[in-house]
């Protein structure tokens, strides 16, 4: 395949998000804006108030008798299977019948004339249960002998035992890496409309319409062809809507069929935060051997994660943590093991980076440890450990790293950010400033692109050209603000050489493209862009054949130009040409398909090529810390990020900026806190602090590596952008660490756990000062 050269300028060009104006003026339609048919009912979840118990009885009489209530739904109302486990592990009941497994677990749903009535009634259940002891975090779970929620993964290469024995230096440590709430602006919502026979239409805010469809069918005991799931857009998903919408979809569907009325369910923010899964927090034990230059010789790592009460996506998430526990560094001898622990908490799920960020934090912590131990600039330790050079390109999962551009990328960022000079100035500042301490860090990211569940790497698209020349585009991806629809439309506009505005971007629906994968793993454009291009090329081929025979010219003389088609010497508008084609009965519609080539993964052996390619990036952040209070701010961040040949630089930059800020929030202020009873006490923005606009770096320079091109034949040689820059936030954590270390003359690595809240930073400062 030869890369197209864009004539119309549709691709590799700045184009604002197709809904940008609608987003900011409030005219973009979300699920809750869809006009409700007369008689629409509203559902609300009734939840548990203990973390672990045997259910002995559930008295819902007061719920039923409450004002406005139509009825309740319990496990008894499920005609199909009472399970919504996304990986088929059969461990996630819609409503439990025997055991409560976390505080806030949905036990039943109330259906009422209004949402308010349903919400009030949901509080009125009287539960009878026998309370059991609970384990909330991975350490408590291990101590209590809890099982792995899913099979652990082990990655091994080389031999660690002799490497540790012969090593000049060795450090063992532990880091706790916190979880994160998705805090999408639009919470979960599902709206089901019953149809004739088995039929159901469900509008829902989901990254994975096909899964919602199949899950509704599974729970209702009907075939998938009876269920249609639609999503025009989400107000953010961030992984939180990859599987967690299942509950809301099936509740709305069950109620809609039971009462034969449209039913909507929309939890409030507190219930959204307590009843749906979050990023996995980890406790990571590392053991690293290195020579006197700081070159790593062996790594042994154990990654224990709080998975919650059911498996959900914890298997692939903890796998991805191991896949990124090397970040950008070659480990000559390595053993990495995951411990996906069952806990009595909400079942944790996908979140931007999908476990990868937790692995990368561990890699960067080891680099930091080595830097303090060998008294070096951490950037120099990074450089001696990068992949590259003879025999230094194999990952712990035996995939070769052969596309690294980190040397150039880091070199450029080091120059443009003036890292060396600023670090020197900061060291001088800290020596002279007793209270305000500064820190700076330049950290890299390497992120593997592809779903590690290899079969997920497929996509479909459907294109119609109507006989007036307007184009209707549908693909299996979902729009959550990332700009996927804009990019896919750009690709189609380029293929036909027509104006972007000619293409109608339509809702994602299981009726048009079947068996789609979640829009996740940053692969939305890679997969759906290729599928759409495939559909466009099929139609183009028919059009070219038609033109060549109808006008009697060689095929090469049929060419597409901006809104025009040239056939031999003749030139006509795209619309006129399409009309000719229609009258000649040329099929103007095509379904496209794509699957990522060349990837494979043998999980049992821990070997393969799970990733088609890697995306790279680096960030340099400077912080200042008030060592009397622990308060800090980010003074400046410089980012250089790799998106290959960008399809749309402003959208990509927006993704990089947003991901960095979200990553920074994860590592600094976003703290999830459960009390001893297992109740999540940080269940609203009042107690859970995401970054504000005022928390962004005072100086924020974001650039794309415009010289980069994907070596692989991805769509127009671009690279995925959604998740990789999330990990650039680690530069802030490490800059904080340097500021803290300064109070004890940088003699030891402060070992900040995350989130490094101002309280944690203050405590670390006090501890180091006391020791010094």
Please give the positions annotated as active site.
Answer: 723
Count of C-beta atoms within a 10 Å radius of residue 242: 26
The β-bridge relationship of strands 458-465 and 436-449 is: unpaired
Choose from ligand MTE, ligand HPA, ligand MOS, none: what does 480 bind? Cβ within 5-8 Å by kind.
Answer: ligand MTE
Does 350 bind ligand HPA (CB under 6 A)? Our answer is yes
Instruction: Print the binding letters for residues 339-378 with ligand MOS: x by CB under 6 A, - otherwise.
Output: -----------xxx-x------------------------
Count of C-beta atoms within a 10 Å radius of residue 502: 17
Write out the residues near ligand MTE by the rule CB under 6 A.
Answer: 236-239, 352, 480-482, 484, 519-525, 655, 658, 722-723
Q: Is the peptide bond before 755 cis (omega within 30 degrees of 0)?
A: yes
Choose from ligand MOS, ligand MTE, ligand HPA, none: what does 523 bind? Cβ within 5-8 Å by kind.
Answer: ligand MTE
Instruction: Provide, rounded to whole angstroms, the least separation between the CB of residue 350 and ligand MOS.
Output: 4
DSSP SS3 for 458: strand
Total of chain residues touching ligand HPA, rule CB under 6 A: 13
DSSP SS3 for 363: helix
Find the binding residues for ligand HPA in span 492-521 (CB under 6 A).
518, 520-521
Instruction: Provide, rounded to whole angstroms, the least separation between the CB of residue 237 and ligand MOS.
Output: 6
Instruction: Provide, rounded to whole angstroms, the least separation between the CB of residue 248 and ligand MOS.
Output: 17
Choose from ligand MTE, ligand HPA, ligand MOS, none: what does 655 bind? Cβ within 5-8 Å by kind.
Answer: ligand MTE
Cα 518 from Cα 476, distance rounded (Å): 8
Choose from ligand MOS, ligand MTE, ligand HPA, none: what does 378 bind? Cβ within 5-8 Å by kind.
Answer: none
Q: Given phi > 0 = left and psi -120 to 50 = alpha, else beta, which region is 158?
A: left
Instruction: Provide, rounded to whole angstroms, the least separation between the CB of residue 452 and ligand HPA.
Output: 4
Choose from ligand MTE, ligand MOS, ligand HPA, none: what does 481 bind? Cβ within 5-8 Å by kind.
Answer: ligand MTE
Instruction: Provide, rounded to whole angstroms, the least separation between the CB of residue 518 and ligand MOS.
Output: 7
Those residues whose C-beta lies under 8 Å from the C-beta of residue 486, and which sit 6 or more positions away, are: 15, 16, 17, 18, 505, 648, 651
Instruction: Provide, rounded to whole angstroms, the least separation between the CB of residue 233 and ligand MOS.
Output: 15
Does 520 bind ligand MOS (CB under 6 A)? Our answer is yes
Cα 62 from Cα 66, distance rounded (Å): 6
Instruction: Provide, rounded to whole angstroms, the least separation between the CB of residue 459 and ligand MTE.
Output: 10
Alpha helices (H) along 640-688? 649-668
Which DSSP symbol is given to 165?
H
Instruction: Provide, rounded to whole angstroms, the least separation between the CB of residue 662 and ligand MOS.
Output: 11
92, 242, 326, 526: which one binds ligand MOS (CB under 6 A): 242
- Give the nearer residue to ligand HPA in terms of CB position, either 316 or 654: 316
451, 613, 614, 674: which one binds ligand HPA (CB under 6 A): 451
Cα 142 from Cα 722, distance rounded (Å): 34
Q: DSSP readout, 377-401?
A: -HHHHHHHHBS-STT--B-TTS-B-
CA distances in angstroms from 472 to 135, 463, 512, 528, 629, listed in the order given: 52, 6, 12, 15, 57
- Give the nearer residue to ligand HPA in terms of CB position, either 77 or 723: 723
Q: What share of the chain is helix, strand, coil (3-state, %, to 5)?
A: 35, 25, 40
253, 521, 539, 721: which one binds ligand MOS (CB under 6 A): 521
Does 756 bind ligand MOS (CB under 6 A)? Our answer is no
Choose from ligand MTE, ligand MOS, ligand HPA, none: what does 316 bind? Cβ within 5-8 Å by kind.
Answer: ligand HPA
DSSP SS3 for 716: helix
Q: DSSP readout, 85-151?
A: -TTS-S---SS-SSEE-STT-EEEEEEESSHHHHHHHGGG-EEEEEE-----SHHHHHHTTPPBSS-
Does 92 bind ligand MOS (CB under 6 A)? Our answer is no
Cα 722 from Cα 237, distance rounded (Å): 12
- Give the nearer residue to ligand HPA in terms of CB position, either 313 or 445: 313
Does 527 bind ligand MOS (CB under 6 A)? Our answer is no
Cα 638 from Cα 655, distance rounded (Å): 15
Instruction: Identify whether the C-beta of residue 525 lies closer than 8 Å to the C-beta of residue 475.
Output: no
Instruction: Identify whether the C-beta of residue 209 lies closer than 8 Å to the C-beta of residue 510.
Output: yes
Choose from ligand MTE, ligand MOS, ligand HPA, none: what does 236 bind? Cβ within 5-8 Å by kind.
Answer: ligand MTE
Choose from ligand HPA, ligand MOS, ligand MTE, none: what does 493 bind? Cβ within 5-8 Å by kind.
Answer: none
Instruction: Identify whether the C-beta of residue 308 lies closer than 8 Å to the C-beta of residue 150.
Output: no
Instruction: Provide, rounded to whole angstroms, the least separation between the CB of residue 280 and ligand MOS.
Output: 11
Which DSSP symbol is given to 527?
I
Instruction: Provide, rounded to whole angstroms, the least separation between the CB of residue 353 and ligand HPA.
Output: 9
- Nearest CA among 272, 367, 722 for reference residue 524: 722
- Give the nearer residue to ligand MOS in terms of CB position, either 451 or 632: 451
Q: What is the largest CA-CA distance in the chain?
A: 89
Choose from ligand MTE, ligand HPA, ligand MOS, none: what does 525 bind? Cβ within 5-8 Å by kind.
Answer: ligand MTE
Choose from ligand MOS, ligand MTE, ligand HPA, none: what does 452 bind? Cβ within 5-8 Å by kind.
Answer: ligand HPA
Instruction: Provide, rounded to whole angstroms, the least separation between the CB of residue 317 and ligand MOS.
Output: 9
Does 320 bind ligand HPA (CB under 6 A)? Our answer is yes
Choose from ligand MOS, ligand HPA, ligand MTE, none: what does 149 bind? Cβ within 5-8 Å by kind.
Answer: none
End-to-end CA distance of the chain: 64
Alpha helices (H) along 207-307? 209-220, 245-259, 269-275
Inter-helix orientation angle 209-220/245-259, to 10°: 50
For ligand MOS, the nearest residue by Cβ is 239
Total of chain residues touching ligand MOS, rule CB under 6 A: 10
For ligand MTE, the nearest residue by Cβ is 524
57 strand-pairing partners: 128
Find the binding residues for ligand MOS in span 680-739 (CB under 6 A).
723
Does 456 bind ligand HPA (CB under 6 A)? Our answer is yes
Cα 248 from Cα 271, distance rounded (Å): 12
- Give the nearer residue to ligand HPA in terms of CB position, either 290 or 666: 666
Instruction: Identify whether the C-beta of residue 300 lies closer than 8 Å to the C-beta of residue 174.
Output: no
- Give the nearer residue to ligand HPA in terms of CB position, either 11 or 350: 350
Instruction: Identify whether the C-beta of residue 409 lies closer than 8 Å to the C-beta of residue 445.
Output: no
- Nearest CA among 608, 451, 569 for reference residue 517: 451
Choose from ligand HPA, ligand MOS, ligand MTE, none: what does 320 bind? Cβ within 5-8 Å by kind.
Answer: ligand HPA
Instruction: Provide, rounded to whole angstroms, the least separation between the CB of residue 519 and ligand MTE.
Output: 5
- The sign one gets for the Cα dihedral 439, 444, 450, 454 is negative
Instruction: Provide, rounded to whole angstroms, the least separation between the CB of residue 520 and ligand HPA.
Output: 4
85, 150, 207, 490: which one binds ligand MOS (CB under 6 A): 207
For ligand HPA, the nearest residue by Cβ is 521
- Nearest CA among 715, 734, 724 for reference residue 406: 724
Does 396 bind ligand HPA (CB under 6 A)? Our answer is no
192, 394, 453, 740: which one binds ligand HPA (CB under 6 A): 453
184, 354, 546, 726: which one binds ligand HPA (CB under 6 A): 354
Does 239 bind ligand MOS (CB under 6 A)? Our answer is yes
The β-bridge relationship of strands 227-231 and 508-509 is: antiparallel
Cα 751 from Cα 737, distance rounded (Å): 8
Element (H, E) at 473: strand 471-475
Interacting residue ranges for ligand HPA, rule: CB under 6 A: 242, 313, 316, 320, 350, 354, 451-453, 456, 518, 520-521
Interacting residue ranges for ligand MOS, rule: CB under 6 A: 207, 239, 242, 350-352, 354, 520-521, 723
């Amino acid at each position: 395949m030869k890369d197209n050269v864009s004539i119309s300028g549709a691709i590799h060009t700045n184009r604002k998000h197709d809904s940008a104006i609608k987003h900011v003026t409030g005219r973009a339609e979300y699920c809750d804006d869809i006009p409700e048919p007369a008689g629409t009912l509203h559902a609300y979840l009734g939840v548990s108030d203990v973390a672990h118990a045997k259910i002995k009885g559930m008295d819902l009489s007061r719920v039923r008798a409450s004002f406005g209530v139509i009825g309740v739904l319990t496990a008894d109302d499920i005609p199909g299977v009472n399970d919504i486990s996304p990986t088929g592990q059969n461990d996630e009941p819609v409503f439990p019948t025997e055991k409560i497994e976390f505080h806030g677990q949905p036990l039943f749903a109330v259906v009422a004339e209004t949402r308010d009535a349903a919400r009030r009634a949901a509080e009125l259940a009287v539960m009878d249960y026998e309370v059991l002891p609970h384990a909330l975090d991975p350490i408590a779970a291990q101590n209590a002998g809890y099982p792995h929620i899913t099979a652990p993964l082990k990655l091994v290469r080389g031999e660690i035992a002799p490497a540790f024995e012969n090593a000049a230096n060795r450090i063992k440590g532990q880091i706790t890496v916190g979880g994160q709430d998705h805090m999408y602006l639009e919470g979960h919502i599902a709206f089901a409309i019953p149809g004739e026979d088995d039929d159901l239409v469900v509008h829902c805010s989901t990254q994975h319409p096909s899964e919602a469809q199949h899950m509704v069918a599974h729970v209702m005991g009907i075939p998938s062809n009876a269920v249609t799931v639609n999503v025009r857009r989400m107000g953010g998903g961030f992984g939180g809507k990859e599987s967690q919408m299942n509950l809301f979809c099936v509740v709305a569907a069950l109620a809609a069929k039971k009462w034969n009325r449209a039913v909507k369910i929309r939890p409030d923010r507190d219930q959204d935060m307590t009843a749906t899964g979050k990023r996995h927090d980890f406790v990571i034990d590392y053991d690293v051997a290195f020579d006197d230059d700081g070159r790593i010789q062996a790594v042994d790592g154990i990654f224990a994660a709080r998975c919650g009460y059911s498996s959900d996506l914890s298997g692939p998430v903890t796998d991805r943590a191991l896949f990124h526990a090397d970040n950008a560094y070659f480990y000559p001898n390595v053993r990495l093991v995951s411990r996906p622990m069952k806990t009595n908490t909400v079942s944790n799920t996908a979140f931007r980076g999908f476990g990868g960020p937790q692995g990368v934090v561990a890699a960067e912590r080891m680099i930091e440890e080595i830097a303090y131990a060998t008294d070096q600039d951490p950037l120099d330790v990074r450089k001696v450990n990068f992949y590259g050079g003879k025999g230094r390109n194999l990952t712990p999962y035996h995939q070769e790293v052969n596309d690294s551009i980190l040397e150039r990328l880091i070199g450029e960022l080091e120059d443009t950010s003036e890292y060396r000079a600023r670090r020197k100035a900061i060291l001088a500042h800290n020596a002279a400033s007793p209270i305000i301490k500064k820190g700076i860090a330049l950290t890299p990211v390497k992120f593997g692109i592809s779903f590690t569940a290899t079969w997920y790497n497929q996509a479909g698209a459907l294109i119609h050209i109507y006989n007036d020349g307007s184009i209707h585009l549908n693909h299996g991806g979902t729009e959550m603000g990332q700009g996927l629809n804009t990019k896919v439309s750009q690709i189609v506009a380029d293929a036909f050489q027509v104006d972007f505005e000619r293409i109608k971007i339509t809702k994602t629906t299981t009726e048009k493209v079947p068996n789609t994968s979640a829009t996740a793993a940053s692969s939305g454009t890679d997969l759906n862009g290729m599928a759409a291009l495939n559909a466009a090329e099929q139609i183009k081929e028919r059009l070219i054949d038609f033109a060549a025979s109808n006008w009697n010219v060689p095929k090469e003389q049929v060419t597409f130009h901006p809104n025009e088609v040239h056939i031999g010497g003749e030139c006509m508008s795209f619309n006129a040409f399409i009309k000719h084609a229609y009258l000649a009965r040329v099929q103007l519609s095509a379904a496209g398909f794509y699957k990522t080539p060349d990837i494979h993964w043998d999980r049992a052996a821990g070997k393969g090529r799970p990733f088609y390619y890697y995306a790279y990036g680096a960030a340099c952040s400077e912080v200042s810390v008030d060592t009397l209070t622990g308060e800090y701010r980010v003074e400046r961040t410089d980012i250089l990020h790799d998106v290959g040949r960008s399809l749309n630089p402003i959208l990509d930059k927006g993704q990089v900026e947003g991901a960095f800020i979200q990553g920074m929030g994860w590592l600094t202020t976003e703290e999830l806190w459960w009390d001893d009873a297992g109740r999540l006490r940080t269940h609203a923005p009042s107690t859970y602090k995401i970054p504000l606009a005022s928390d962004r770096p005072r100086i924020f320079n974001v650039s794309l590596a415009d010289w980069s091109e994907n070596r692989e034949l991805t769509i127009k040689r671009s690279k995925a952008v959604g998740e990789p820059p999330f990990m650039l936030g680690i530069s802030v954590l490490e800059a904080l660490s340097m500021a803290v270390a300064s109070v004890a003359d940088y003699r030891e690595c402060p070992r900040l756990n995350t989130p490094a809240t101002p309280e944690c930073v203050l405590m670390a400062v006090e501890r180091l000062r006391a020791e010094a």
